[in-house]
Structure 1
Amino acid sequence: MKPVKSVTIIDDPQVHEDQHVHAPWPIIAKFLSDLPTGWIGLDSGTGNGKYLPLPADRPGSILTIGLDRSRNLLQIARHAGSEPGILITREVVWGDVLGSGWRSGMFDYAISIATIHHLASHDRRKLAVQRLLQVVSPVHGRMMIYVWAIEQDELSKRSIPASDTDGLDHYPTAGEDVFVPWVMSQQQHTAKGKFKGDVTSSAISKQDASAVPTLAVETPVYNRYYHMFAKGELKQLAVQAAEELGLIVGPQETAYTKGCRGVEIIQEGWERSNYYVELRCWVS
């Protein structure tokens, strides 16, 4: 692994959360909105469950089950989309995105949003993609994966350190391993100094954290690992994951015999400082 760098979130924590944690990305929202009525899917690494209530334009048309290793976040996700006086209960499961506790092909779709970039090796990230490929239907399964990108736009609040191996390019051709300092908000402290919720609830720089009055002594700053993907890296990861499972990568028309299994890359791209890839499974 390359040396891990430090990246700073330069923003008010609440503004950062509203933009990058709570607000659904348009392409993900459209992906879920376009799914057929009655489909059941998995949100692998659901966090606070912000995608469980979607699609907003067709509420209840699909069922997304949230999976996460944080019990505290699952407590939030379990009631995602609830309003005062209206308690809604979601289906959530405690588990690891690298686990194999699901029956093969049991889901119609799967999403993995801002999760795989927390895995600290190429092989673990590849395995996470393979788990998604394994749990969706081999006939019609669809997947959407989102990760942080090295390439940040002018609106991004993530300050990425320059790479020593950039050469003539502004960005490296491989991803960067970084630490993001996170600090818990004051609302998450108990009177005894213990913490509620997940450490990703607020993000500020180390310098800002030390300037927070009264909280600086009691509130630790957590350095959370991210692998920030370079251009083309997520697509290549998906291709490698599929090929190692014996899948053909390409449109169904590329099948050379009846009964072949494959996966097609429907779309890939960059959206607001994130890379995404959409996949569709098929059987000839």
Structure 2
Amino acid sequence: MPQKAVTAASVSEDPQMYEAEHVHAVYDEIAPHFSSTRYKPWPIITKFLSSIPPGWVGLDSGTGNGKYLPLPHERSSSVWTIGLDRSRNLLEIAQIAGGVHREVVWGDVLGKPWRDGAFDYAISIATIHHLATHARRKAAVKSIGPKRLIQCLSPRHGRALVYVWAIEQDELSKRSIPSQQPTQDTAQELLPSMDSRGQDVFVPWVLSTQIKPGHKSASLLVNNETDATLHSVENAKNTPKVYNRYYHMFAKDELSSLVVEAAQELGLNVGPQPVYADLTSDTPRQGIEIAQDGWERSNYYVELRCWQH
């Protein structure tokens, strides 16, 4: 399988503008083509969604084309999921996918449209790796959808699944991640791109327009100046356009460490819920447990579960 030429990226001093140029603008341009390639769910995500109790209300933060928003014929239609994304063009696709109207909201994953504890569950699939700094990625984990991820969930039973691209790619991956071993001369310059041991990269999206068989330009004979001009114009129209999307490729244990750091900054205990019989005045009253932490087909994932006495 041919691999995409992934290249190293260097984040500018204004990460918000950087994301606007290298993430949001790109997805609005490639939305229809991108959506046509995003239809098969990942097993871990399918299993997580199928385990959600009927009647729960959830958030898909960074929903894209709405691939994980439930349709009426699916078992997961017994839950209600709201999709949020920054790309209006992708949201228009998500809103009517499957021939039904689904609930979507236009907004940024670092915004604050929700009240605390609004959701029973949340998913963030292939989203926070588009945020350009460690601090912004951590803020997104705190707010998996806009108002502190952990805080937008029910403190008693809320659950969340976060999924990001990994540096460690499998043999079926279309991406080849460049090695970033800094030399003495380049170490200081590469520090921003090696934040938290991950790598900042550009992943190309090739948008091409093929000439359809039988089209008059397919058999164009370049035998005079006029034909040569027409041929040049047709070639220009059909030259693939490459859009470079910014990604932070996560290293092993980086995502789980980010989650722990975010939870601790919110004053939450990280670990299993204490047994009721063992409660004392010093026992933490609220926290999160990392229920799953793993790697699946070139991606890292973490599942969180909230608890409160």
TM-score between the two structures when normalised by the length of structure 2: 0.71
Tell me if the contact between 1:242 and 1:249 (Cα under 8 Å) persists in the aligned partners: yes
Residue 269 of structure 1 is aligned with which of 274, 287, 294? 294
Structure 1 unaligned runs (5+)?
6-12, 167-171, 188-211
2: distance between equivalents of 1:114 and 1:176?
Answer: 15
Shift of 1:224: 1.0
Tell me if the contact between 1:29 and 1:54 (Cα under 8 Å) persists in the aligned partners: no
Q: Partner residue of 1:159? A: 176
Shift of 1:221: 2.3
Residue 180 of structure 1 is aligned with which of 197, 203, 208? 203
Q: Partner residue of 1:282? A: 307
Shift of 1:185: 4.6
1:78 aligns with 2:95: yes
Tell me if the contact between 1:102 and 1:135 (Cα under 8 Å) persists in the aligned partners: yes
Deviations 1:180-207 (A, max 9, x none): 12233539xxxxxxxxxxxxxxxxxxxx
Structure 2 unaligned runs (5+)?
1-7, 11-29, 144-148, 184-193, 211-233
Q: Partner residue of 2:9? A: 4
1:117 aligns with 2:129: yes
Query: What does 1:135-150 correspond to in 2, within 5 Å?
Result: 135-150=152-167
Identity %: 64
Shift of 1:163: 2.0
Q: Partner residue of 1:42? A: 59
Tell me if the contact between 1:29 and 1:55 (Cα under 8 Å) persists in the aligned partners: no
Deviations 1:109-132 (A, max 9, x none): 000000000000000000000011
Q: Give the secondary-structure state (helix, strand or coil) at the position aligned to 1:253.
A: coil
Query: What does 1:188-267 correspond to in 2, within 5 Å?
Result: 213-215=235-237, 220-253=241-274, 257=281, 260-267=285-292
2: distance between equivalents of 1:270 and 1:235?
Answer: 11
Q: Give the secondary-structure state (helix, strand or coil) at the position aligned to 2:81.
A: strand
Query: What amino acid does structure 2 have at the position aligned with 1:29?
Result: T
Query: What amino acid does structure 2 have at the position aligned with 1:122?
Result: H
2: distance between equivalents of 1:63 and 1:165?
Answer: 47
1:63 aligns with 2:89: no
Deviations 1:131-173 (A, max 9, x none): 111111011000000000000011111111112159xxxxx98
Distance 1:256-1:114 versus aligned 2 partners, 3 A rule = farther
Distance 1:159-1:240 versus aligned 2 partners, 3 A rule = same
1:89 aligns with 2:70: no
The count of aligned residue pairs is 238
Tell me if the contact between 1:182 and 1:222 (Cα under 8 Å) persists in the aligned partners: yes
Shift of 1:213: 4.5
Q: Give the secondary-structure state (helix, strand or coil) at the position aligned to 1:35.
A: coil
Shift of 1:100: 1.1
Query: What amino acid does structure 2 have at the position aligned with 1:160?
Result: I
Distance 1:282-1:55 versus aligned 2 partners, 3 A rule = farther
Query: What amino acid does structure 2 have at the position aligned with 1:117?
Result: H
Tell me if the contact between 1:38 and 1:63 (Cα under 8 Å) persists in the aligned partners: yes
Query: What amino acid does structure 2 have at the position aligned with 1:244?
Result: E
TM-score between the two structures when normalised by the length of structure 1: 0.77
Q: Partner residue of 1:32? A: 49
Higher helix share: 2
2: distance between equivalents of 1:54 and 1:163?
Answer: 43
Q: Give the secondary-structure state (helix, strand or coil) at the position aligned to 2:170.
A: coil
Tell me if the contact between 2:208 and 2:241 (Cα under 8 Å) persists in the aligned partners: no
> Aligned Cα RMSD in Å?
2.8
Q: Give the secondary-structure state (helix, strand or coil) at the position aligned to 2:154.
A: coil
2: distance between equivalents of 1:275 and 1:174?
Answer: 14
